[in-house]
Amino acid sequence: MSKDNRLSLLAGILIGLGAYGFLALGGIPGAVIFAFGLVGVVLSGSLLYTGKAGVMTDIGALTLIWLFNVLACILIGLLVVSIGGEPQERAQAVVDGRLAQGPWRSFLRAIGCGLIIDLSVWLYRKSNSLVPVLFGVPLFIVCGFYHSIADVVYLVAAWKWSPAILWYYPVIVIGNYVGCNVRRIVIPDKLL
């Protein structure tokens, strides 16, 4: 397995654990503890789809990052299922709420998340400060925005099938990609 694939798995594990923490605590405390995932990603230099979608132009490489992020989150979702309890119940409520939004609202919520994650990572790189990450993650959660990698944990942990997942998940992945590229379009790095 290549180094990039390993770093992508690590990012998925970190985000998956953050998502699990959110499910375990819920509310604002869960949103804050979720930041562990993105803090771990930026400090370890691991490869996260939403951390790279606004800076990479190689779609093939970005797709591999996404795939290994997803594989890791499937494992974390299965861990939630295996342990059960309140986190699994919260996952079911999260998934029901997301699917009830429909494609257009889900797409907009995914754009919002992509924008916040991209800005958080970009500001971290510019300042070498974790403050944007520590505030950005809870911000996207309390705003009700959707993160395509964390959502894999929720979808697996909910442990139920719905045909709506067939439209939902691709919409979130694309929405995150669009949101991650807003900064690059509005303020290209060459202007900074």
Q: Is pTM, for the whole model, over 0.85? A: yes
Mean pLDDT of 129-150: 97
**Which amino acid type is present at position 107?**
F
Crossing angle (nearest 10°) for helices 86-99 and 150-158? 110
Q: What is the per-residue DSSP string for 100-143? A: TTHHHHHHHHHHHHHHHHHHHHHHHHHH--SHHHHHHHHHHHHT
Please name the CATH architecture into which domain 3-191 falls.
Up-down Bundle (1.20)
Would the pLDDT of 59 be above 80? yes
Buried residues in 112-141 as b, exposed as e (16+ CB within 10 A): bbbbbbbbbbbbbeeeeebebbbebbbbbb
Distance CA 164, CA 149 (A): 18
Q: Mean pLDDT for the chain? A: 95
Tell me the percentage of the chain whose pLDDT exceeds 90. 91
